[in-house]
Structure 1
Amino acid sequence: MMASEAEKTHALLQSCSAESLLSSFGLGIFCLVAERLLQFPVIQRSDWLRALSDNAVHCVIGMWSWAIVIGVKKKTDFGEVILAGILASVIDLDHFFVARSFSLKAALTLPRRPFLHCSTVIPVVALTLKFAMHLFKLRDSWCFLPWMLFISWTSHHIRDGIRHGLWICPFGKTSPVPFWLYIIITSSLPHVCSFIMYLTGTRQKLSSKYGIRIDV
């Protein structure tokens, strides 16, 4: 059921709550500091340390973003937050898949960007997942999953975009995303995702049927 006008208004007000805005500000600061730390020579000199640190930042951003969306209120919410982090970081495994090797050097020296780094994949996979959940009648208990995947993968792509631009099939690649725009998009993405969840009734399903609160 679509949310009522009153619920839509409430969602908009909640998305601007002091707690939520403070969390988003903290996320923006984390992104800023993390990118500076990754430039330290001790990290840049080691391929493994650079790759692991870069992937860890993707993971933390995914976790932080989803924590803003759901508002962590109880211990079980941390499971969702961890899953969001895994989704945000697992994308980089496609480097090894395309390289057909577990060699980090081979994964980092691909002649082209691997398939999961195509931004067009995000809405396609999210919508496919939503359809599959509807088909197998999982739309209530797992209705958050397409949204989690969307926000986790989008945050990964936007961050990669500051170095390589966004690869949007079949239109090609954009210019690198300006650093300031990366900070703004990453900080505001949880609010946009959360508000759309309100509008589509996802919050109502979670809160009324399973007692999961999504306070933004």
Structure 2
Amino acid sequence: MRGFYSKLDSSSVSTVVPLNLAVETEKAQALLQTFSTASLLASGGLGAFCFLVDPFLALPFIQEHLWLRAVLDNAVHGIIGLWSWAIVIGLKKKSDFYEVVLAGFLASIIDLDHFYMAGSWSLTKAVSLPRRPPLHCSSLIPVLSFSLRLIMWFCRLKDSWCSLPWMLFISLSSHHIRDGVRRGLWLWPFGNTAPISYWLYLSVTATLPHLCSVLMYLTGTRDMISSKHGIAIDV
């Protein structure tokens, strides 16, 4: 009997050890992909895009037309949001494309709160507000992201939705950081920061996807993303 149990115990241990090793290997590979060559090139491309598009938006023929300026500026917010999320999850299959489009949509739709606060669809009124509209309060970003996570937990949504709070985080953050170049960040109840320097804005925008990926790894979300999208998470 002693020999039988010894045999059973040794076989159980030999099964558990490779399994744990496989899990840890998958975690390590997922974290390494956060800083893979492809993802670093993609974030460099994101910074370059911001550097090139901002002088274009400052051209006189764009600045002279209010609607054109607003539409293009909002489109850039959307592109930065979807590009940032693409760096986080990669574009491996069709569903990934839908996710990055949703991230871009979230990054651009924030500006609707200008019209809400103005109480009118007049663009002139929307861009001439006496104070910032509610969704432009940077203090709300962690609150909204955490609240969404709690709602998902309470509703017992599937793991396939686990990345949604992080998508919201990166979409809102990228929008606020870009706006911060002109007016700083509104950190209620502490007030506004000084305007963000242009080079800091470029640096933070390019590195934000990697910061988000590391935070997702530390909170365990990265493991679920790896199972959903495959281990090779890069663009």
Shorter chain as denominator, the TM-score bin is over 0.9
Is 1:215 matched up with 2:233? yes
Structure 1 unmatched runs, 5+: none
Structure 1 residue 204, shift from structure 2 partner:
2.0
AA paired with 2:133? P
1:179 to 177, 195, 198: 198
Structure 1 residue 194, shift from structure 2 partner:
1.1
Match of 2:120 in 1: 101
Deviations 1:74-93 (A, max 9, x none): 12211001000000001100
Match of 1:58 in 2: 77
- The aligned length equals 212
Match of 1:111 in 2: 130
2:184 to 157, 160, 165: 165
Match of 2:6 in 1: none
Structure 2 unmatched runs, 5+: 1-22
Structure 1 residue 203, shift from structure 2 partner:
2.5
Q: Is the 8 A contact 1:32 1:183 kept in 2?
A: yes
Q: Is the 8 A contact 1:130 1:139 kept in 2?
A: no
**CA distance, structure 2, for counterparts of residue 186 and residue 9 of structure 1:** 25
Structure 1 residue 206, shift from structure 2 partner:
3.3
**CA distance, structure 2, for counterparts of residue 156 and residue 169 of structure 1:** 17
Q: What is the aligned-residue identity percentage?
A: 59
TM-score (norm 1): 0.93
Match of 2:15 in 1: none
Match of 1:13 in 2: 32
Is 1:69 matched up with 2:123? no
**CA distance, structure 2, for counterparts of residue 27 and residue 211 of structure 1:** 22
CA RMSD of aligned residues (A): 1.6
AA paired with 1:148? M
TM-score (norm 2): 0.86
Q: Which runs of 4+ in 1 moved over 3 A?
A: 4-12, 210-214
Matched residue SS, 1:101: coil
Compare the two structures and name the one with the higher helix fraction.
Answer: 2
